[in-house]
Structure formats: C-alpha cells, structure tokens
Homo-oligomer: A and B are copies of this chain.
C-alpha cells in the first residue's frame, strides 16, 4: 500500500489553495504534478553542473554527459528495454510517433498498404498516420469499440491481414481508461508480418511496462505525465529496426563527419538526437523514475485500482451521470470520463474549479472517440499516486451540487 499522506508531502503544489479551497488535482492524465526530488534535480543541474554535453573535455561537460546518459539508462531499465541505444529522447509522445511515421513509416508503408489503429486513439497516434497514409497512398483501418469501451476483437483476423504494415494503438486510453491487450495483439500482428507501435503515454506512468516482454517494435511515452518535467519524452525502437532507420532531424550531434555536400551519421541513439538535447529535463525524468521505483510500480497500480474502484462506486450513486469505459477494474486505469445531459462538461469544470477541484473537460484530443460516444465533450477525472478517497468524495459531492445548481 502506498503511504499517500507521506507522498503528498513530496509534492509542494498540493499545499496550494484555489479560491480558498485546497487544490484537488484530478487532471493527471493531462499532466502529473512533480515531487521535490524532481524539481531539485533541475536546480542541482543548473546550479552545479550545467553544460553542453558530448563534445566537451571539461569537468562540467563530463558530469553533465554522464548524468544525461545515466538518465537514459534509467529509462531503459524502467521500460525493460535491453540497450540504451534503443531509446531516443524526444519532446513528448507526439514527437516520438511523428518520428516513426516520418522515418520508418515513410520508407516502409506503400500504396495499398494498411495501417491498423483503433477508435480510441489520442490525436497524436492518429493524425501522423492520416498524413502518412495520404502521402504514401496507404489507408487506415480501425478496430471498433464495444459498449464498455473495450476493443472489439471478434473480427481481428479480418482486420490484420498481409496488407497490414503497422498496428498503432494505445496501451491505455486517456478517455476511457481502457487497458488494451497489447501483448496479445502484438503477437497477432507479428504473425502477419506487421510492425507494432504502442502509445504508452498513459501506461508507463501508472503500471509496470516491459517492452521486451510486449515484443513491440515501437513504444512512445512522455515524461510530464509521470512526475517528470515538461519537454522530455522517449521513443523506444527495437534495435534491429532502429539500425535500418534514416535520421529524422539533421544537424549537430547526430553526424559523424560532414563535408560541403554530404554527411555521415553518428552511432545510435545519437543519430536521432539532433542539436543540443533537453539535458536538464532528461535528468529530471531520471529523478522521476527513481521516485516511482522507490514506490514500486505494482504499488502504484494497486493504489490507483483501489481509488478507481472507490470512485466508480461513488459515481454509481450519482444518478444523471453516465460513466464511460470498462467496469472491470483489472481492464482499466485511473481515468474516469463522465457526462451529464444537463450540465455541459465545460460548465462542470468551471463549477468544480470554484471548489478547488481540477478536472479536464472537452474532447481530450480524441475527437473521433468523443463522436463515437455520441457526446460533444466529456468531463474527466484522472488519478495518481497522491490522490485520496477523501478527494474522490469532494469530487462526487461537488458534481452532485453542480447538478443541483443547474437543475434549479
């Protein structure tokens, strides 16, 4: 069990008040808050060993390089990858997926090929494939959802065919909370010769992930949703695929030798990291991983399952509120999207904000899914390690009060 009271002390922002009320931060699927150790890792970096990396012979540069590459190794271990050179540092999940689309995708997806994805993707795992399909004459296919917001896999053998070159799907939905059977789907896709990209933006922060066990080809996640600073994300690529990929961005650090008209590329992973990297924030991501590992990812998952279970019970008592996503706790994460016919999510958000409760409202960057749910927008509460049952009570009470207010 997580010692949540203890954890809360590590997050300075949680002592903030909003309109005089203690902050109840339930917008974790958008971005997480940061513990002191992560914030301090940035301060330490800038106060004592800030330097550009890789190319310096002086002490600061060596220290910064070592800590930067150490942090990469932490990421490697954390997601169960085998080699540091499989991990490319990017800004966020979105850039990671674009990198795959514009390098591997551009050269391996041709006219007539299919890209299979789902109806629960974040725009970041949809629009890059739309663009690629358009550029290369390929087409997109979709795995449909069932009533509970889980993938309908009954016709999966018709969907994954020899035309399928890529299966791109999310590990956990940021709207429904659904955890998809990515390992099983990867096996099916591989049998048909397709590669698999997993959008791990919502899974890596909340559960143990092992990319080697999943056997996926590409895996993307963002630091900012897992206690780390903004501006840093990770793309994992299977080594044998990465070896064959063309660079994405060109410039300093990613080259080996440069002449007037041509250049050769640096070793992996630097071949994919052009220009001065986001050094401090990768080090911050390393500190975030230290923090999560000190809690244990199984404990994190357990805490969120318990809290989600409690919240779903409370929501159940709120009549007039529809909750989306799977009912089975083992198949969902700590994201609860809900809807009322009487109060627009936006108005719900404003009312809750007055009580210090931060939720997200809108299409959550998943418009096709929102449309499937037959709503214009939803309200979403999402949990993390520092959230409590008491906060869930505040949330449901405030929702109740809002419903009453609008019914007046």
Q: Are B255 and A127 in contact (CB-based, < 8 A)?
A: yes
* Partner among B50, B58, B231, B252 whose Cβ is within 8 Å of the Cβ of A122: B252
Of A76-84, A158-166, A236-244, A355-363, the segment with at least 4 beta carbons within 8 Å of chain B is A355-363
Interchain CB contact under 8 A, B251 and A94: yes
How far in angstroms is the closest Cβ of chain B from A259? 6
Chain B residues whose C-beta falls within 8 Å of the C-beta of A107 in the assembled complex: none
Cβ 8 A contact of A39, one of B42, B259, B346: B42
Q: Does A278 make an interface contact (CB < 8 A)?
A: yes
Residues from chain B with a CB closer than 8 A to the CB of A258 are 123, 126-127, 367-368
Minimum CB–CB distance from A93 to chain B (whole Å) comes to 6
Contact string against B for A residues 1-37, beta-carbon threshold 8 Å, 1 for contact and 0 otherwise:
0000000000011001011000101010011011000
Whether, in the assembled complex, A365 has its beta carbon less than 8 Å from a beta carbon of chain B, the answer is yes
Among residues of B, the one whose C-beta sits closest to the C-beta of A34 is B46
CB contact between A277 and one of B51, B230, B279, B357 (< 8 Å): that residue: B230
Flag if A34 contacts B50 (CB, 8 Å).
yes
Give the segment of A189-197, A210-218, A260-268, A316-324 that binds chain B: A260-268
Chain A interface residue bracket vs B: 35 or more
State whether the Cβ of A330 lies closer than 8 Å to any Cβ in chain B.
no
Q: Contact at A260–B142, with CB atoms within 8 Å? A: yes
Given A58-B353, A94-B276, A262:B48 Cβ within 8 A: no
Which of B97, B231, B252 contacts A365 (CB under 8 A)?
A: B252
A251 with B98: CB separation less than 8 A: yes
Question: Does A60 touch B at the CB level, under 8 Å?
Answer: yes
Task: List the interface of chain A (C-beta within 8 A of B).
Answer: 12-13, 16, 18-19, 23, 25, 27, 30-31, 33-34, 38-39, 42-43, 46-52, 55-61, 91-95, 97-98, 101, 119, 122-128, 130-131, 133, 140, 142, 222, 224, 229-233, 249-255, 257-263, 274-281, 346, 349-350, 352-353, 357-362, 364-365, 367-368, 371
Pull 9 A–B residue pairs with CB atoms less than 8 Å apart, ordered by A: A12-B47, A30-B51, A33-B50, A38-B46, A128-B250, A131-B250, A140-B260, A231-B278, A231-B279
